[in-house]
Amino acid sequence: MSAPTKSPITDKPLRNPGQSLEEARRKLFEDKIETPFLFALFFSLMAAMEWWRYYFKQPPSPIIFTICAVLLAGFTAWRFWKTRPQVHAIKQGIEGEKAVGQFLERLRESGYHVFHDLIGTGFNVDHVLIGPGGVFTIETKTWSKPLRGDPMIKFDGEQITVDGREPERDPVIQARAQAAWLKGLLAESTGCAYEVFPVVVFPGWFIKQGEGTLRNMWVLEPKALAKFLAKAPQRLALDEVKLASFHLSRFIRTSEQGRST
């Protein structure tokens, strides 16, 4: 049995613009559409079975329906139990990305343009920053923490370990691949060679850096990101920031339009 864990997010993220309307829309669908639809579907099936029995002179057969009901109930319970950890992980990941995203929004005051959930082909980039310090891709990892002890994430410049163990999926490879993809995207759309710096953030974790590990990518707790950006040399002029931000905004809008059609 695995050791019990807890979420690294201690404070719930702030609410997003339009969240109340999204919740109201979801509740309206559940109350006004979903429930009546399920009732209508259920009674339509019952009516169809009764008409079938009526035309073919079939006697009631409760045993068959009881067996089906028991099997379906068991399958539903099994599916719920198997899905529950995945639902919990997704919920925790959503909270982490919201918390990091709301923190990144403060960087607009420092001249950074902030983009969230950039969709690529078969993957997504959680956040992108474009500002005086350059272009940054930010991968958020909201990993659960042990209930006991003093857990720590170590980064040696190439590999991340969690309490001495390597994760199943290497976020370093993922972050560098995302940065390379965005670099190619900006080069194709702007005609300029933008260097893209990969960043991985772990909300709520203590990060121990090895010597010389901050040269090619950053592995940080999100609250440390503002200090690192403040110390970073200015790599982009204002017109370069606007050019990259404009083309990335256009890419996002075009992609969303294609996804909605």
Per-residue pLDDT tens digits for 133-159: 999 999 999 888 887 778 888 988 888
What is the mean pLDDT of the segment spanning 83-90? 83
| pLDDT score at 261 | 63
**Domain's final residue, options 55, 73, 92:** 92
| pLDDT score at 40 | 81
84 lies in the same domain as 104:
no
For residue 212, being part of any structural domain is answered with yes
**Domain's final residue, options 92, 112, 137:** 92
100 lies in the same domain as 81:
no
The answer, yes or no, to whether residue 60 has pLDDT greater than 80, is no
What is the mean pLDDT of the segment spanning 47-54? 82
For residue 3, being part of any structural domain is answered with no
Does the reported pTM lie above 0.75? Answer: yes
| pLDDT score at 1 | 54
**Domain's final residue, options 34, 59, 92:** 92
**% pLDDT > 90, the chain:** 30
For residue 155, being part of any structural domain is answered with yes
164 lies in the same domain as 105:
yes
The answer, yes or no, to whether residue 15 has pLDDT greater than 60, is no
For residue 138, being part of any structural domain is answered with yes
- CB atoms inside a 10 Å sphere around CB 261: 5
**Dihedral angle over CA of 92, 93, 95, 100, nearest 10:** 140
Bridge partners for 134 per DSSP = 131
Mean pLDDT estimate for the chain = 84
| pLDDT score at 237 | 94
Q: Which domain holds residue 75?
A: 24-92
Distance CA 17, CA 15 (A): 7
Q: How many domains does the chain divide into?
A: 2
